[in-house]
């Protein structure tokens, strides 16, 4: 373990990426910069984050200024980074830091994790990088580096838990912030997902997968079970005036609050029924995270509302309603079947 950390740190001292939130050698990092960058990096690449980081720190150079900022202005500068709940939580986080900690970011990961938008990864990252606390943040890069080094063939997502366990059991090197960032940089530059540069890696001599296998085998792919197929019928009903029926989906669950053409519930289908639908040609296919859906599209002129939640809409007003992609496909199918 000593050998591993020492080799990685020596490599980092020579090859680390120059990133705007990192301290110069011998200097300590600005905790606000570390916190801000780690929140931005949660779902976004280093390359994209750099510009946003500059804009944020120019406009709001301190936790206090960010806490006082107008949320809409924050959203505006955040535009393009995606996952906007991060921007909202960041604002709440800054306000809480001012209220409860006098604008100072706490060093203890157990305090950090209670702040809005900060989970196990970010709390460990900020504690280590800003304050040299002995914690190891487990992100995708670190999972890959450690799993390959130890030859752990467990597939994702279970692998993440195993690496988190590994992280808890480590005696973390004194330079814990550098150690964490060294693993991140190694993962990004050398121990890359597709074309790892093993010959340039400082620890290939003791790397289990390099010595005994192919690095690309890790992280192992889970044998994923096939998605079930569901089926239903959707009614694109219009009245004599040419309006169509629409309704709003429930507040919770799949496609929450979005609008839809009314229809039956979607049930797991027998293969025979799928053939019927395919032969009839009046169906659309759509894939969700957890199932495939075949929807038979029926169109007809019909003056009654299917249920009391339905209402009539002019076709050229459909664009005013938030229709999911699925329902856009249904509408296009309905139009095509009229020709
Ligand atoms: N990804 C997330 N945080 C990072 C950091 N501090 N350095 C490099 N890559 C990162």
Catalytic residue among 6, 38, 240, 260: 38
Spatial contact of 17 and 181, defined as CB atoms under 8 Å apart: no
CA angle, 59 as apex, 57 and 60 as ends, to 5°? 60
Distance from residue 34's CA to the centre of ligand 1 (Å): 9
Residue 38 bears catalytic tag = yes
The mean pLDDT of 239-258, rounded to a whole number, is: 95
Most distant CA atoms of the chain, gap in Å: 80
Q: What is the pLDDT of residue 2?
A: 67
| Cα 61 versus chain centre, distance | 27
Q: Is 126 in the pocket of ligand 1 (CB under 6 A)?
A: no
Q: Are 240 and 312 in contact (CB under 8 A)?
A: no
What pLDDT does residue 339 have?
A: 61
With a 6 A CB cut-off, is 184 part of the ligand 1 pocket? yes
Average pLDDT, the chain: 94
Note the pLDDT of residue 302: 92
173-223 residue pLDDT tens: 999 999 999 999 999 999 999 999 999 999 999 999 999 999 999 999 888
At residue 249, the pLDDT reads 96
State if residue 129 touches ligand 1 by the CB under 6 angstroms criterion: yes
Distance 220 CA to ligand 1 centre (A): 23
Q: Write out the H or E segment, with its range, that includes residue 175.
A: none
| Ligand 1 mean position, distance from CA 178 (Å) | 11
How confident is the model over 257-298, as pLDDT tens digits?
999 999 999 999 876 667 766 777 889 999 999 999 999 999
34 C-beta closer than 6 A to ligand 1 = no
Mean pLDDT of 312-319: 97
Nearest protein CA to atom 1 of ligand 1, as residue? 41
Q: How far apart are CA 143 and CA 180, in angstroms?
A: 12
Ligand 1 center–CA 1 separation, angstroms: 22
In the chain, pLDDT over 90 holds for what percent of residues? 89
φ, ψ of residue 31 to 5 degrees: the values are -60, -35
Pocket test residue of 15, 16, 37 for ligand 1, highest count of atoms within 8 A of CB: 37
Does 124 sit in the ligand 1 pocket, CB within 6 Å? no
Q: Which atom of ligand 1 is nearest to the CA of 38?
A: 3
pLDDT at 281: 81
pLDDT more than 70, % of the chain: 97
pLDDT confidence band for 58 (50 / 70 / 90): very high
Helix ranges (H only) for 170-262 are: 176-189, 208-212
For residue 75, pLDDT over 90 is answered with: yes
pLDDT at 112 (0 to 100):
98
The Cα–Cα gap between 21 and 24 comes to: 10
Ligand 1 pocket member 181 (CB < 6 A): yes
pLDDT of residue 280: 75
Q: Give the closest residue (by CA) to ligand 1 atom 10.
A: 184
| R_g of the chain computed on alpha carbons | 26
With a 6 Å cutoff on the Cβ, whether 41 touches ligand 1 is: yes
pLDDT value of residue 278: 73
Whether residue 143 has its Cβ less than 6 Å from ligand 1:
no
pLDDT tens profile 97-121? 999 999 999 999 999 999 999 999 9
- In this structure, the residue with its CA closest to atom 2 of ligand 1 is 41
pLDDT in tens, 143-160: 999 999 999 999 999 999
Ligand 1 binding pocket includes 46 (Cβ within 6 Å): yes
Per-residue confidence (pLDDT) for residue 332, from 0 to 100: 96
pLDDT for position 1: 56
Nearest CA to ligand 1 atom 5: 181
Sign, CA dihedral 60-61-64-67, equals positive
């Amino acid at each position: 373990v000593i050998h591993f950390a020492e080799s990685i740190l020596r490599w980092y001292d020579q090859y680390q990426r120059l990133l705007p939130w990192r301290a110069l050698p011998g200097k300590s990092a600005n905790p606000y910069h570390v916190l801000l960058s780690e929140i931005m990096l949660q779902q976004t690449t280093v390359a994209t984050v750099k510009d946003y980081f500059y804009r944020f720190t120019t406009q709001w150079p301190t936790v206090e200024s960010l806490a006082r900022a107008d949320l809409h202005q924050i959203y505006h500068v955040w535009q393009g980074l995606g996952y906007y709940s991060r921007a909202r939580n960041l604002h709440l986080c800054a306000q809480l830091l001012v209220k409860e900690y006098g604008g100072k970011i706490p060093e203890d990961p157990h305090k950090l994790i209670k702040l809005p938008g900060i989970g196990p990864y970010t709390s460990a990252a900020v504690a280590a990088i800003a304050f040299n606390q002995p914690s190891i943040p487990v992100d995708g890069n670190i999972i890959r580096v450690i799993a390959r080094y130890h030859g752990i063939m467990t597939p994702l997502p279970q692998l993440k838990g195993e690496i988190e366990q590994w992280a808890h059991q480590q005696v973390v090197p004194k330079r814990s912030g550098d150690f964490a960032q060294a693993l991140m940089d190694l993962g990004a530059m050398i121990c890359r997902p597709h074309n790892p540069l093993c010959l340039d890696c400082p620890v290939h001599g003791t790397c289990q997968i390099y010595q005994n296998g192919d690095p690309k085998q890790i992280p192992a792919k889970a044998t994923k079970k096939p998605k079930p197929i569901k089926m239903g019928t959707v009614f694109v009903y219009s009245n004599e005036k040419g309006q169509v029926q629409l309704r709003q989906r429930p507040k919770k669950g799949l496609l929450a609050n979005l609008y839809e053409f009314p229809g039956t519930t979607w049930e797991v289908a027998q293969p025979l029924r799928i053939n019927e639908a395919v032969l009839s040609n009046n169906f659309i296919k759509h894939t969700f995270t957890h199932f495939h859906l075949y929807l038979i599209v029926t169109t007809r002129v019909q003056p009654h509302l299917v249920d009391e939640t339905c209402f009539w809409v002019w076709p050229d007003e459909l664009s005013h309603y938030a229709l999911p992609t699925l329902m856009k496909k249904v509408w296009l199918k309905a139009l095509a079947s009229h020709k």
